[in-house]
Amino acid sequence: MKILLVHGVGHEDPNPDWPGQWEKAITNGLKRYGYADSIEFVPESPVTYDDLFEQNPEPTTQYLQALYELLKAWTLSSVSGNRGFGMPPTARGLFDDIGGFFHRVANFLRGIPYEIHWRAGIVAEWLIKPDLRAKLRARIGGAIQREQPDLICAHSHGSLICYDVFTNNDRGANIIAGRTFLSFGSQIGHPAVVADIWGGRIKQLDNARFWHHLWNPNDPVLTQAIDLPGVANFHQTITAFGGSFLDLTAHDPTVDGHHVGYLDHASTADVVWRSLASPARAITRGFAIAHDLMSTPTRRALVIGINEYPDPANRLDGCINDAFLVSAALQERGFQPQNIRALLNERATHDAIMERLHWLLDGAEDEHERILFYSGHGAQIPAYGSKMEVDHLDECLVPWDFDWSDRTAIIDKQFYQLYSQLPYKTQFLAIFDCCHAGGMTRDGSSKVRGINPPDDIRHRILEWNAAKQTWAERTLPTRKRAIGGDRENQEKYVGESGATFRLGRAMGLRRVSKRQFDQTRKLRGHEGPFMPVIFEACEEDQLAYEYRNGVTSYGAFTFCMIKNLRRNPSSSFERLVTQTAGTLKKLGYKQTPQVAGPTNVISTQIPGGKTPPSRKKRKR
C-alpha cells in the first residue's frame, strides 16, 4: 500500500518529526488488523507547502473580513450546540450577542498574533487568494499524480487543498479515482468555505474508492462535521478527544503525551484501519451491513407548537391544537405514529428544537419524506456582517426560551447546516404557521403570531433623520444580486428589502453574485444546496392570525390547509397553497399563504397518500 501524507499548515517548523509520528500511527493501526503487505510512504521526503504562504501577511480589510466570517460561523456553531468542547458558562455569556462579541474583539484581530494566523488566519488567506489556491492544487495534485498512492491522509488545511484538487473540474475527479481519501481535523465543511469555495454544497467524491472523514467535536480549529447522507463511499467517524475550552491539542494528528490524536484514536482503528486492512469485499459488505443497521424510516415528521411563552403578552391559543391536527393528518396519510415527534410549550427550547431537527433530517435519503411543522411566534433579528455592523435581518422561529440573541433563535444559519446537504430527491416540506412582521393582539379572538423586538434591538436598524426630526429604518445592503431572476423570485429569498435572510433559503451559502455562484457549482459538479419546499402562513409584510372554530383555537392557515388537504388528498404543493389562500379569503383573513421551493418540485404531489410523487430534475 502506497500512502501519501499531507500536513496541515505550520507542521514543518513546530514539529519537524511529524512524518515519523504519522507513519508509526498508521503502520501500527494497519498491522493491528493483520495487514501483511508492504507499506510504503511516498514520496521519500514528504510533500510540503508552507513556503507558498506569506509568513507575515498584511492584515488587509479583505483578510480581516474573511477571518471575521470564519470565526463568526464557528462561534455560531459553538453556541448552538453543534460542537462538543467544554465551553464554560462564563465564556458562553460572551457569545450571547455574536455581533457585540466581535465588536469587542475587532481590535484584537487587527494585530493578529502568530497562533491565530497559522490556524484560523491561514484559512482566511487561502479563501481570498485564488492564485494561492491554484499553486497549492498544482503542488499537491502533481505529487499525487507522480506517486500514484493508494491512500491519501490529509490533516487540517491539507485536507482543504486535497478536496480542492479532487473537485476542481473533471481533471480533479480523475486524480482521486480509485484511491482512498482520509481527512481529519478538517475545515472542508466550514460554512464560509462551503459558501465561497465549494458553491454552497460539499460534493461527494464519486470516483474515489472511499472517503473516510474523522470528526472531533472538541477540535476548536474551525473544523466541522461533514454529512453526506445516502453516499455509499463516504463515512464519518467520531473521534472525540481533548475537550477543555479552546484546547488546541484536540487538533493533534497523533498522541501528544496528554491524549490520543486523530490517527491513533480507537475509533479510527476500529473503522479506518480495520477496513483498509481487510479485503475489498469485506469493506463493502461491512459498510453495507452498517448502513442497513442504521437505516432510518422513509417517513419522519416533527411538529412544534408553543402557546405558553414566558411573557404573558406573547401567549397564543391554537398552537398545540395545530400540532395535534397536523400529526393526525400525517397519520391519515401513512406516517407511523412512532415516526412523528412533538415539542410543545416549555419543552420547545432552542436546544431541544435543534436536537429534534437533527433527528428529523439525519440519514434522509433519496425519496425519503420529511415534514417539519412549526406553530408559534416568528420574528426578525438584526444581524452583524463582516464590517462589524448590522447588514441584514435574520428571519427566525421563536423557541420557548427566546431572548432576542442568536443563541436562542432558530435562524437559517443553523438550519441550513442540516438541510443543505440532503440528497436532491429527498422530499422535505417545512411548514411555518407564524409571521415575521411583528404583531399584537388585535381582539379577543384574533391573535397574531409574530412579536415586535425590544427597543434596544430595534435601535440597531434605525437612524435619526435630522431633516425630518424622526427615526427611520436604515437602508441595508441588498443581496438580490446573489439570487438573480425577476423581482418576485428575488423577494422569495431576501424579501422586498433585499436584506432579509429568509428561513429555508440557505442565503448564508449564497454570498457571491449569481453568476459567480453558478460558475462555482458547475465547476464543482453539483446543483447547489438542497432547497426544501416551504409553506408560509402569509406574505412577508402580512400577519398570521389565529382562528376559533367554535370554542377551539387553531392557526387560521393550519386549519384551512388541513381542511383542504383532507378534501383533496392528491393535491400538489402549489395547488394546496392556492386552495388554502382561497379559503382564508372567504373567512375574511387578510393573509395570503406562500409556497417556495424548486420549480419542478412544488408542482408535484405532497408527501404521503397512496401514489408516490414522480420526481424530476430540480430547476434552480
| pLDDT bucket at 114, cuts 50 / 70 / 90 | low
Q: Is 94's pLDDT higher than 90? A: no
Q: Is 97's pLDDT higher than 70? A: no
CB 167 within 8 A of CB 524: yes
Q: Which fold has domain 299-378+396-448+526-596?
A: Rossmann fold (3.40.50)
- Rounded to an integer, the average pLDDT of 463-476 is 93
Q: Which residue has the higher pLDDT, 53 or 160?
A: 160
Q: Which residue has the cell 377551539?
A: 552
Q: Is 534's pLDDT higher than 70? A: yes
The angle formed by the CA atoms of residues 383, 385 and 389, to the nearest 5 degrees, is: 80
- Please report the pLDDT score of residue 101 as a whole number: 44
- In the chain, count of helices (H) and strands (E)? 21, 20
- Rounded to an integer, the average pLDDT of 194-201 is 95
For the chain, the domains span 2-53+119-293, 299-378+396-448+526-596
- Please report the pLDDT score of residue 92 as a whole number: 41
The 10s digit of each residue's pLDDT in 501-519 is: 999 999 999 988 999 999 9
Q: Is 98's pLDDT higher than 80? A: no
CB 262 within 8 A of CB 268: yes
| 2-53+119-293 and 299-378+396-448+526-596: identical CATH topology | yes
Long-range CB pairs of 438-442 (<8 Å, 24+ gap) are: 438/379, 438/380, 439/543, 439/544, 442/545
Output the CA torsion 169→175→176→181 (10° steps).
Answer: -110
DSSP 450: B
Q: Is 184's pLDDT higher than 80? A: yes
Percent of the chain with pLDDT over 90: 66
Q: Which residue has the cell 445592503?
A: 477
| pLDDT bucket at 115, cuts 50 / 70 / 90 | low
- Rounded to an integer, the average pLDDT of 214-232 is 91
CATH 3.30.70 fits 2-53+119-293, yes or no: no
- Please report the pLDDT score of residue 88 as a whole number: 43
| pLDDT bucket at 63, cuts 50 / 70 / 90 | confident
- Rounded to an integer, the average pLDDT of 359-377 is 95
Locate 453 and state its grid cell.
Answer: 423586538
Output the CA torsion 24→224→14→148 (10° steps).
Answer: 50
- Rounded to an integer, the average pLDDT of 581-605 is 95
- Please report the pLDDT score of residue 110 as a whole number: 47
- Please report the pLDDT score of residue 58 as a whole number: 66
- Please report the pLDDT score of residue 286 as a whole number: 53
Q: Is 443's pLDDT higher than 50? A: no
pTM over 0.75: yes
The 10s digit of each residue's pLDDT in 420-431 is: 999 999 999 999
- Least confident range of 110-124, 229-243, 335-349, 516-530: 110-124
- Please report the pLDDT score of residue 122 as a whole number: 85
